[in-house]
A and B are shown apart, each in its own frame.
Chain A
Amino acid sequence: MRFVKFFIFVLGFSLVLSCGEKKAEVKPEEKPVEKKEVETKKVEQEDTSFNTVMRILKEALDNEKTASDSATKLNTAKAYILVIKFLNNDKEKVKQSGMTDRDIAELKQDARENATVRLNEILSSPTAPKAIKDEAQSKLNELKSL
């Protein structure tokens, strides 16, 4: 009788464990959903429309008049990168303004030069925080691909 009880106990316990395991398997499936949300947020932040890009560029350049720290330089570099993306993406405005291929290439080169100068200053700065240096490096890599 004891053996039967022990057998039922083991059987029940193993069932509980196996059910528990099933629940544990569900959890990892939820994590990728969270990742997807983060990715969509990143895409939403990358607004390269005319008004947004001009507002961000103006704010960044105005801030640079009063501050010269690495975070401010990084923001300005990001604004210049947005200008390049605007020139690449907003074909309608670019066409309306009558820009030639040469104009576009020159303006993109101007923005690239301005961004590169700032990112290199951050990377060579002994006082810039590591997180900002890392972001500056990733932006420099992004800049090369634009």
Chain B
Amino acid sequence: MFKKLFFIGLILTFSSIFATSEDDLLNAYRILKKIGEYENKKKAILVFQKFPDRKRVIAMVVDLLTYNYDNPNFRENDQVAFYDDVIAEELVKILDKERLPSNFPAFLRIVLYSNRHREQTVKAAWQGIKNIDWTKE
């Protein structure tokens, strides 16, 4: 009996350490909405990659790409804008993995305004458009 409880406690402890909680997701979303903070954003991207409710993550990523990572004043020699766009590329890759038709508007916006992103991000968006599985829902 004591052994069983010990193992349950052990599993709960590990899962609480490694599992990504709702709070982690919301915190990651809040960080990704900011400008700059590249190192924190890299950690937030990891949370987005791990979170099990993919539909929620996708909705957040589409929102971020549309409203927070579409920079009309983008310049490659602006360090903050440059590293923010590295994060945008990672967000595009998260969407690309899902291959959902609902990713299309975010990808199309990136390729329409290709001068607002690095070439790598635009390439990733084109790849995403190519990879969309239109039979998915």
Contacts and interface: CB of A to CB of B under 8 A. Distances in A.
Contacts of B130: 54
Nearest to A58: B126
Contacts of B111: 57-58, 61
Nearest to B132: A97
Task: Determine the interface band of chain B, counting residues with CB < 8 A from chain A.
Answer: 10 to 19
Interface string B101-112: 111110011011
Contact of B109 (A54, A58, A80, A110): A110
B105 A107 contact: yes
B102 A83 contact: no
A107 B111 CA distance: 11
Interface string A81-120: 0010000000001001111000100110011001000000
B7 interface: no
B134 A99 contact: no
Contacts of B108: 83, 107
Interface of B: 101-105, 108-109, 111-114, 126, 129-130, 134, 137
B112 A111 contact: yes
Contact of A96 (B112, B129, B134): B134
Most interface-central of A61, A98, A107, A111 (chain B CB within 10 A): A98
A110 B104 contact: no
A12 B89 CA distance: 86
Contacts of B105: 97-99, 103, 107
Most interface-central of A80, A96, A99 (chain B CB within 10 A): A96
Most interface-central of A54, A93, A111 (chain B CB within 10 A): A54
Interface string A130-144: 000000000000000
B101 A114 contact: no
Contact of B101 (A80, A96, A106, A110): A96
Contacts of B102: 97-98
Contacts of A80: 112
Nearest to A107: B108
A61 B130 CA distance: 16
A115 B24 CA distance: 42
Contact of B104 (A57, A61, A97, A114): A97
Contacts of A61: 111, 114
Given A97-B104, A114-B112, A54 B129 contact: yes
B112 A110 contact: yes
What 6 A-B pairs are tightest by C-beta distance, nearest first? A97-B104, A96-B101, A98-B102, A97-B101, A110-B112, A103-B105
